Amino acid sequence: MERISRGDACEGFLLDGFPRTLPQARALDNALQEASCVIDHALRIKVPDEEIIQRISGRRIDPVTNEIYHTLFSPPPPEIAERVIQRTDDNEDTLKKRLAKFHQDTGPILKFYAEKGLLKVVSGVGATKEVQQRIFEAIQISV
C-alpha cells in the first residue's frame, strides 16, 4: 500500500502474482478501499497445465552467464550446452504439485473477482505479441 500510494502509481499499477490466496485478496480489497483506490481488472492468463509443465521443465540456465534457454524453444549454443543446468524445482513431479496448490489457492480468488465483475480471462497460448494483444483487448488498452 505504501508503494501504491506514491504519486507515480496514480496512473495505474500492476500486481503480478498477487494476491495468491483469498485472505490476501480480501485484505488487499479492504486496504484499497481505505486508500480510495479500486481495482479495475483482475486478469487471468490461462495456459493449460501441460503447456506450463513443458515451458518450465524445458528451461535451462547457464550458471556462468545466468542466460536462460529452453530445450525446445531456445536451445543453448553447442559450445555451452554441457554446462547449462535445470533448477531442481523445474522437474515435472514438482511442477505438478505446485500447479495443484496454485489451482487450489487461486480458484477462490478467481471466484472473488468474478463476483465483483472484475475478472478477465485471456488465453496465454501463442506468440508473445498475440497474448499481449489479447490482454490489451481484455482490459481495453489500445497501443
CATH number at residue 74: 3.40.50.300
Amino acid letter at 135? I
**Does a structural domain hold residue 22?**
no
Averaged pLDDT for residues 59-87:
96
Tell whether the model's pLDDT for residue 79 goes beyond 70: yes
The total number of structural domains that make up the chain: 1
> Is 16 part of any domain?
no
* In-domain check, residue 107: yes
Residue 8 lies in a domain: no
Is there a domain that residue 110 lies in?
A: yes
Q: Does 10 map to a domain?
A: no
Q: Is residue 24 part of a domain?
A: no
pTM (two decimals): 0.80
**Mean pLDDT rounded to a whole number for the chain:** 92
pLDDT over 80 at 52, yes or no: yes
| Domain around 53 | 40-138
Residue 31, Cα to own-chain centre: how many angstroms? 22
CA distance linking residue 59 with residue 13, whole number of Å: 29
Name the pLDDT band for 34 (thresholds 50, 70, 90): confident
